[in-house]
């Protein structure tokens, strides 16, 4: 789902409507949300080994967040065709295309990432590390640098993107920190 | 009384596991409701499944073959009795309430339980294993001890986390250190006290540390990895996070590779979409 400028939806009127708390845009697993409304907050809950990646244009205040399950489609090409956001390399690339379609400038985009945790003592699957490596490879190929990250370890994370300032916040164990 | 004994003392007082049954109750009020839909609702609800298996394996049916899945139980009891059962046990949809201690938001434990069940079944299918139907039930019930141990974890959560994060223990090992018991063992003991079949109770009891089970059980192996997979996917992660240790022996025994695990994870996430309406109904 995208919350783009919507000229068909009646705008809230009166004090009560304008002060009502707006629900955040929730990004599910293998999902992406974007917005050009600076009043919006995008959030994804419960990042385990999945990777949450945000992109934000500070001039136009356009931002997006993707929640990717796996590094690359591998044997799941059909799934990537149906839902590119399931995978880091197709999901992040598609998200960037979508924010550029909204008017954002590629060279202004600020990227941040969180998640990519692993099970304790897991040397076999390492899904979290593989997810982050896929992101690094993709960004390197496009000569883009990650501005901030909070990845790895064994902790679950919730990730927020505030469209008004581009502030990205990670919450874990009830504590918040800004990326 | 030691903390372990204090907790075990509570087991005898647990008469039913909270469930999300108002959706099933809703189906009962509809004369045109599809019985298969009712079976489906029960199948995806750990509380209803556990309580139903308790009833159907109780003394009235003793001597006959143990019942290990919700569907078997429904066939055995018959529609009317299942309806009565759901009405009598189904007025407290608290399985979907927040579980204190583990910091599980409403509905999250339900989603996690379903994810473990689906992941175990999915892995078996990808690996072309001939797994019994009760693999799903065992996965669904594997985390049931959390609903009971949560209150104790809540009081001691900082000590448990210290052991897990500072000393590198798994969360269940840390529970053992602080409480003298972990939620897997407790879940197994509760279901055992209800007379659920040993094939189910041993999986619940050992699903976090399958290497401690003296034998080889493919269902236990699948539920163990199913639980790992569900946690990596991130559905229903609480304060325990990913602080669990996957068994290398099980991974080798199943012949797992990252590709197999990735495929199973992708299938589970797609599968979860198909039951999302159930979760939504449960919090409604």
Q: What are the tens digits of pLDDT across the range A61-94?
A: 999 999 999 999 887 788 888 899 999 999 999 9
For chain B, list residues whose CB is within 8 angstroms of any CB belonging to chain A.
Answer: 103, 105, 108, 161, 164-165, 168, 170, 228, 231-239, 241-246, 248, 251, 256, 258-259, 261-263, 265-266, 269-270, 272
Please indicate whether, in this complex, the C-beta atoms of A156 and B258 are within 8 angstroms of each other: no
- A158 — contact with chain B (CB < 8 Å)? no
Domain count within chain B: 1
Any domain includes B142? yes
What is the reported pLDDT for B236? 82
Any domain includes B183? yes
Q: Which of A72, A26, A68, A73 is nearest to A48 (CA)?
A: A68
Other Cβ atoms within 10 Å of B126 Cβ, number: 15
Question: What number is the average pLDDT over the span A147-158?
Answer: 95
**Contact at 8 Å (CB) between A112 and A47?**
no
Structural domain span for residue B106:
96-275
Which distant-in-sequence residues (6+ apart) come within 8 Å of A174 by Cβ?
B103
Any catalytic annotation for residue A15?
Answer: no
How far is B164 from B167, CA to CA, in rounded Å? 6
CA-based nearest residue in chain B for residue A153: B242
Any domain includes B112? yes
CATH no. for residue B115? 1.10.3210.10
The shortest CB-CB distance from A46 to any of B170, B237, B262 is to: B237
Please indicate whether, in this complex, the C-beta atoms of A70 and B265 are within 8 angstroms of each other: yes
Any domain includes B15? no
Q: Which of A41, A50, A66, A88 is catalytic?
A: A50
Strand duo A2-3 + A41-47: pairing: unpaired
In chain A, what are the domain boundaries?
23-178
Kindly report, residue by residue over B16-74, the tens digit of the pLDDT.
666 666 666 666 556 666 667 777 777 878 877 887 787 777 644 555 678 888 888 87
Q: What is the pTM of this model?
A: 0.85
Any domain includes B250? yes
End-to-end CA distance of chain A: 25
Kindly report, residue by residue over B52-61, the tens digit of the pLDDT.
787 777 644 5
Q: Which residues of chain A neighbour B108 with C-beta distances below 8 Å?
A: 46
User: Which fold is adopted by the domain A23-178?
Assistant: 60s Ribosomal Protein L30; Chain: A; (3.30.1330)
């Amino acid at each position: 789902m995208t919350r783009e400028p919507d000229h068909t939806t009646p705008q809230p009127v009166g004090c009560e409507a304008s002060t009502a708390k707006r629900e955040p845009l929730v990004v599910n697993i293998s999902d992406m949300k974007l917005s050009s409304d600076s009043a919006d907050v995008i959030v994804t809950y419960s990042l385990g080994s999945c990777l949450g990646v945000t992109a934000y244009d500070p001039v136009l205040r356009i931002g997006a967040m993707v929640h990717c399950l796996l590094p690359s489609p591998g044997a799941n090409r059909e799934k990537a065709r149906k839902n590119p956001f399931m995978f880091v390399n197709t999901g992040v690339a598609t998200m960037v295309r979508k924010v550029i379609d909204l008017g954002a400038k590629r060279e202004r985009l600020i990227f941040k990432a969180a998640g990519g945790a692993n099970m304790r003592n897991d040397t076999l699957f390492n899904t979290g590390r593989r997810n982050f490596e896929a992101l690094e490879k993709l960004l390197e190929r496009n000569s883009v640098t990650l501005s901030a990250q909070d990845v790895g370890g064994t902790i679950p994370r919730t990730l927020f993107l505030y469209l008004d300032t581009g502030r990205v916040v990670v919450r874990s164990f009830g504590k918040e920190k800004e990326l | 009384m030691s903390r372990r004994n204090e907790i075990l003392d509570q087991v005898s007082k647990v008469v039913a596991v909270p469930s999300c049954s108002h959706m099933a109750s809703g189906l009962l009020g509809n004369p045109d409701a599809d019985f298969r839909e009712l079976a489906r609702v029960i199948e995806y609800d750990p509380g209803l499944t556990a309580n139903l298996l308790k009833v159907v394996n109780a003394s009235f049916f003793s001597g006959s073959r143990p019942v290990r899945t919700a569907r078997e139980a429904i066939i055995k009891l018959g529609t009317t009795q299942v309806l009565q059962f759901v009405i009598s046990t189904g007025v407290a949809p608290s399985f979907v309430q927040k579980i204190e201690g583990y910091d599980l938001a409403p509905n999250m434990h339900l989603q996690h339980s379903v994810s473990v069940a689906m992941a175990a079944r999915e892995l078996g299918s990808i690996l072309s294993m001939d797994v019994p139907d009760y693999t799903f039930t065992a996965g669904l019930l594997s985390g049931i001890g959390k609903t009971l141990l949560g209150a104790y974890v809540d009081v001691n959560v900082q000590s448990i986390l210290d052991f897990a994060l500072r000393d590198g223990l798994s969360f269940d090992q840390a529970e053992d250190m602080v409480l003298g018991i972990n939620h897997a063992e407790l879940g197994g003991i509760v279901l055992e006290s209800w007379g659920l079949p040993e094939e189910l109770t041993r999986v619940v009891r050992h699903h976090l540390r399958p290497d401690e089970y003296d034998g080889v059980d493919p269902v236990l192996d699948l539920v163990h990895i199913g639980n790992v997979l569900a946690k990596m996917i991130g559905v229903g992660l609480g304060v325990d996070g990913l602080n669990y240790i996957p068994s290398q022996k099980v991974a080798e025994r199943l012949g797992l590779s990252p590709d197999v695990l990735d495929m199973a994870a992708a299938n589970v996430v797609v599968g979860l979409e198909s039951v999302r309406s159930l979760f939504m109904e449960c919090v409604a």
